[in-house]
Amino acid sequence: MTQKLALITGASRGLGAALAEALAPTHHIVAVARTTGALEELDDRIKALGGSATLAPMDITQTAAMATLCRGIHDRWGQLDLWLHSAIHAAPLSPAPSVGEKDWSKSIAVNATAPSILIPYIAPLLGLSGRAVFFDDPRAGEKFFGTYGASKAAQMALARSWQAETANTGPVVKILEPRPMPTALRARFFPGEDRAPLADIHDEAARLLPEITG
């Protein structure tokens, strides 16, 4: 396969979907998300752009599924050029004393544990020349953001350690901070917000693309 290969975890909507479309002219997209219908809609948009995708409707918290996915990438393509990790769980905002056990457990599972499992699986596929990209949203310490902020901060700490460890050897690990966008995640945190000043999601994908691929 001469076309580059990009794995996007959290590809069904939001920034992950917009980046899948932005990369479609130059990469075959392996799109991972839980929602089959949204992935199929993404596939239609990618095909309309002249690109191609492999859809993987999977839950990233299922270790066996992620092992199967990565083994499938290895067996079919042998390697991976790019991994974008945009999957996230947004727990409801709440005061720290009111954090629910279920929300905390799911946030840790999706935002922290899943990346800790994916990195060892994906690193061999990236080799020394591939690139991994994480997206920061620094909320740690903000009021009512305890669950989301803590679990996201854990993910970023892991990504930054990997980044430091591979700085002289590869793969390249990047951590980018997108501008505020009118995503479903943001709407959960800021309902009723005036969305007019927010960055268009496709414009933001285009802005980040040179940093992702360059």
* The pLDDT value given to residue 201: 96
DSSP 94: B
Three-state DSSP at 59 gives: coil
The first and second tokens of residue 193, run together, are 């917000």
Q: CATH code at 166?
A: 3.40.50.720
Judge contact between 185 and 90, C-beta under 8 A: yes
For residue 19, give its domain range.
4-213
* The pLDDT value given to residue 112: 98
* The pLDDT value given to residue 214: 84
Distance from C-alpha of 90 to C-alpha of 116, rounded to nearest angstrom? 18
Amino acid at 50: G
Q: What is the residue-wise DSSP string for 69-100?
A: HHHHHHHHHS--SEEEE-----PPPB-GGG--
Which residues sit opposite 57 in a β-bridge? Answer: 33
Distance from C-alpha of 198 to C-alpha of 10, rounded to nearest angstrom? 21
pTM: 0.95
Three-state DSSP at 15 gives: helix
Judge contact between 197 and 8, C-beta under 8 A: no
Q: How many domains does the chain have?
A: 1
Distance from C-alpha of 115 to C-alpha of 108, rounded to nearest angstrom? 10
* The pLDDT value given to residue 3: 87
* Regions of the chain with pLDDT less than 70: 1
* The pLDDT value given to residue 57: 97
